[in-house]
Structures are given as C-alpha cells and as structure tokens.
Structure 1
Amino acid sequence: MPSRSQIQERIQETKGKAQDDVRREYLKDLSDYVDRDVIIYMSGFTSIKAPSIPSTFQSINLQDVQGFMAAVHGLKRKKLDLILHSPGGSLEAAEQIVQYLRAKYDHIRAVIPQNAMSAATMISCACDEIVMGKQSAMGPIDPQLTLPSPSGQFTAPAHSILDDFKKARESIIADPKTAPLWVNRINLLPPGILNICENTIKNSESKVAEWLDNYMFGSDQDKKGTDIAKWLGNAAEHKSHGRPINIEKCKEIGLKVAALEDDQDYQEKVLSVFHASAVTLDITSCIKFIENQNGKGWFLASDIQKPSA
C-alpha cells in the first residue's frame, strides 16, 4: 500500500497537475474491487489550512445536499460505499442527505478511514454497516448550538445550556441573592432556548434510533437503536463533544462494525483514496468535496492561502 508521503511524492512529481487523476484512479479502483458505487465526502477540517477556514465551510450543511445530488447523478448500482471524513454539522442537513441516499440505495456501507464525528456519526448510523480501522473514530451525537453573544457567535452543547439553567435554579433557591448574576447571564441567551435545546436533543437521539432500527437492525428481532442512540447522545458519559469512539467501543455498544484490516486489499484501496484526497485538500484551494468513482461531484474552494512553512 502506498503511504501518504508516497502518494504526495507521486503527485508532486507532476507539480500537482495530476492530483485529480491520482485520486480518481484510486476511487475507480476501489469501486471496481467492491462492485459498488463509491462516494467520498471529504472535509478539510484536518488539513494544514484548517485553522484559517471558517468552521461552517468545513461542516455538514444544506449545500452538501446539492453535492450529493451531483455525485449520485448517473450512478446505476444499488449498493454504495460512502467514505466519510467530517467533523459533523447540521442535523437537518444530515437528515436530508440520509433521506436522499436511502431513497437511491438498498445497501449502504459507511467507511471511516479516520474521523466521522457528530452529524457524520449520525449519517453512519443510517447505514447498513460501518467499516472502521484501528485508527478510526466516531463521536458523540449530543447537539451543539451556535448562539449570538456581545462578542460574536459562540457554539455550546445543548446539554450544557440545560445544565446551566438547572444550576441557576438550584443556586437561586439556595441563595436568592445570586439571582441577579444568573439573570444577567441567562438574558444573553435567545428566547425559547430551553425548548430549542430539549427538542434538538430529543430529535438527534430519536432520528439515530429510527435509522439504526430501520437499516442496520432492520432484519433483526432485537432492535438496539434506542439504547445506542441514548449512549451516543449522553453528554455526561462522554464529557467532550469531540471524544473519539474507536472500533472496539462501537462494537461493544452494539453497532454492526467491520474491521478495515480484515481485507488487506480493501484496506489498501480505501486508504489510498483517503490519502490522495487529503493531499488534494493540502495542496489546492479546495476545502471540501463530494466525489464519485467517475470523478463527478461537487467541490468547494476557498481563496484562503495555506499557511507558510
């Protein structure tokens, strides 16, 4: 298997001109090997220029629906390998992507070469099977909310906002003199934020439970969706929204996960696609793309220059 550095050297020998050709060669080779459609969703959130790119561009959003439409157009098979590398993003966008792909494909295998977090974890749970390597990670699905503040927008876990309201109530009951401090803090939050938090948490867990039971456990008598979704959404359990959940833990909680290393040829082809895609994001202005085995898809570029060495 060519390493990341070997793939990069191969591309750099042509002064970067062949980087699309190399990546597409590996995508086509993988599709031919598995006799399935292959689509890669690749975010630049781990690229060398990631710190300079607004997180909204790196995340799953409604624009990505158009990307999947472009990537699916013209594909004829009924089985899909969906390679995911994403920090997550919008629950609503993830739901629309799942609806679209499940209407097209009878069987979907989520392939995670490194990270599929948050909303990308949710998309993985809407697949029939997940493939992970020893280095791969999924993440918790506890929803994050982006809220306004006097110094600009900030993102906070919905669970932590609810916890703050609980602490405020307990603090004020214990010592009414603390009320003004809590009131000033809570007044910075939008009206109706409690309902928004509660509904978003319920929606993320219920959707994952529904997808797991309909697809991954569709033919099983023992439906595990609700228990798995509650564990993935348990902020108190995970402590951090970015906590990596490895293949062994995914198997332990009951997900149907295959090890990438079980088929060495398959592992080589998947990682070659992933490494070539990572090089694309490092050496070009592209910051996210969705592409099929025929080289068709959608590419988001930025004029942000990569950091100097």
Structure 2
Amino acid sequence: MFILFVVFFLYTVIYPQSQLKRIQMQRLAKLKAMERRHGCKVLTMIHRREAISFLGLPAYQFIDEEDAEQVLRWIRKYRDYPLELILHTSGGQLHASIQIARALKNHPKKTRVLIPHYSMSGGTIVALAADEIVMDKDAVIGPIDPQVGDLMRGLFPAPSWIYAAEIKKEDAEDVTLVMSDISRKALKLTRSVAKELLEGKIAPGPGGEDRLDDVVEKLVSGEMIHSTPLSAAEAKEIGLSVNTDFPEEVHEFMKLFRPVKRNVAYVE
C-alpha cells in the first residue's frame, strides 16, 4: 500500500509540477527571443484552463486585482522601454481592467497589445489603452458594456437593467430599481474611461467629423450583446485602429499552453 501511495503521489503531484516547470521554461525562452527580435519588453496575460496544473485540476482565470498588481509592477519597472502585451482573456473585474488600461496608456514609450485569439470585455478595455492593437485576422474583441448583478440573480448588462426598470416603472421590484441606478453609474464610468483611452486614436469620418463619441457608444451602449465577437475587420469598421500584421511567433508561443479539452486532432 505504501508503494502504491508513493506512486500515486509522484503521478498526481510531482509529475504534473515537473511538466509545468519545463513548459514555463520554454515559455520564458520564447518571450526572451521575442524581446530580442521586437526590441521591446514583452508580457503575457493569458487566461485559460490548462491540462497541467496542481493535482491536474484546471483553474478558471480572469482579470483580477492580482493581475493588475503584477502588470502595474511590470510597467513601472520598464518605463524606459517600449512594451508589448500578449492578451488572451475573456475579461474580468472592471476596476482591475481599468487600472491596467490607465497604466498602459500613461506609459511614456510605445505600447502594443497583441491578440492571437480573443480579448473580450475587460480585455478589450485593456486593448483600447495601447498605442497599437495588433490582432490576428480571425481574432476577436468585444463590447465593454458593464455587467451588473449579484450571486443570487447573476450578472446582466447594465443597459438591460435600465430597460427593465423603465418598462416596469412603478411595478418594478426594489432590487431592479437599485440595479438600474448602479447600472447608470457603471455606464457613466465606462463611457468616461473609454473616451479617456481612445482620445486621439479615432480617425475622423468621411466629412472630417469627430467619431469618438460614436465609437464609444458602439462599444458601451449595449447595442450588441456582451459576447458579440468583433473581428479585426469589424473593429476597423466601427472606427478602431487595428493592425492585422500579426507575428506568427506569438501563435507558436500560444501552443505552449495546453488546453484541458483536446477534441480537435490533427497531424503537426
């Protein structure tokens, strides 16, 4: 029994951790190579469930205050260098996303965000802060309308809470009225931040008109559902400055993140 326990311990704890250490070393080597070729410092913020983790249990990840703390520390450390941030995230906490975005926007050197697959919600807020957004032609970003709710009722788009309160009027429940009030404030904040991040980055319209407010409304107003995938071409169409000259080496780097599910198989 003791031998079986030792074998089980080695297989479930030591082996996954040794694999993870090896893969982390490969990732660092790839990042260093990219830094040399691109002439800048490179950071990744990649949120995905990986097959290799402690006891083999995948962890759900999103943008949070710990991410913000680490990214801000990186930006401060390399304030004299141009920066590239590889983003792969479904989003996360609004305040953490805004904090990262503002620090990236205020960086004194050039900043680029590279999106190989997707950067939704809070990830889009971070992307808007960069001097340049570089997307694979099939990558997507998404709307940034704030999501409001609680553990009991779940999260819903802020514009939808306002719509419900306006439709129900005096018949609306107290919680709907409260959520509507919070939603108005959240929308005001998000509009303000989006304008702050996009100031000077939106090309004028055909007649020379300022399109900043139109772009912000498109992203914030709830016109699209929160999970709407906006391709690089669609992002350009609504007015964002997007470059699709995407470096292939970033895709090679992403192969070092092993997903939990492997339903798709092909010969390399």
TM-score when normalising by structure 2: 0.78
Hey, what does 1:242 align to over in structure 2?
Answer: 227
Conserved? CA contact 1:114–1:136, under 8 Å: yes
Distance 1:269 1:99, change over 3 A: same
> 5 Å matches for 1:56-205?
58-72=61-75, 74-75=77-78, 77-149=80-152, 154-169=154-169, 179=171, 182=172, 186-187=173-174, 189=175, 192-205=178-191
Shift of 1:194: 2.3
Q: How does 1:188-267 map to 2 (within 5 A)?
A: 189=175, 192-214=178-200, 216-217=201-202, 223-236=210-223, 238=224, 240-261=225-246, 267=247
Indicate the residue corresponding to 1:269 in structure 2: 249
Q: Give the match's secondary structure for 1:59.
A: coil
- 8 A Cα contact 2:136 2:244, kept in partner: yes
Aligned-residue CA RMSD (Å): 3.2
The residue type equivalent to 2:234 in the other structure is: K
Letter in 2 for 1:228: V
Summarize deviations over 1:151-192 as a string: whole Å, max 9, x none. Answer: xx61111111111112212xx7xxxxxx4xx4xxx24x2773
- In structure 2, C-alpha distance between the alignment counterparts of 1:80 and 1:148, rounded to whole Å: 37
Identify unmatched segments of 5+ residues in structure 2. 1-15, 264-268
Runs of at least 5 residues in structure 1 that lack an aligned partner in the other structure:
1-11, 173-178, 262-266, 283-305
| 1:290-305 equivalence runs, <5 A | none
The equivalent of 1:36 in structure 2 is 40
Report the Cα offset of residue 81 of structure 1. 1.1
Cα distance in 2, alignment partners of residues 257 and 52 from structure 1: 33
CA shift for structure 1 position 127 = 1.2
Whether the 8 Å contact between 2:120 and 2:140 is mirrored in structure 1 is: yes
How many angstroms apart in 1 are the aligned matches of 2:101 and 2:209?
23
Q: Distance in 2 between matches of 1:33 and 1:122?
A: 27
Shift of 1:131: 0.5
Partners of 1:15 and 1:97 in 2: CA distance: 31
Q: 1:307 to 1:119 in 2, by over 3 A?
A: closer
- Cα–Cα, structure 1 residues 47 and 157, in superposed 2: closer, same or farther, change >3 Å? farther
Matched letter for residue 97 of structure 1: I
How far does the alpha carbon of each residue in 1:25-52 deviate from its partner, in whole angstroms, 9 at most, with x for none?
11111111110111111112x6569x96
Distance 1:248 1:130 in 2: 12
**Contact 1:78–1:104, Cα closer than 8 Å, also in 2:** no
Report how many aligned residue pairs link the two structures: 242
For residues 151 and 167 of structure 2, the distance between their equivalents in structure 1, rounded to whole angstroms, comes to 21
Q: Alignment identity in percent?
A: 25
- Cα deviation code 1:251-281 (max 9, x no counterpart): 11111111134xxxxx2211122222x23xx
TM-score relative to the length of structure 1:
0.68
Larger RCO of the pair (alpha carbons < 8 Å, separation 6+): 1
One-letter code aligned to 2:228: R
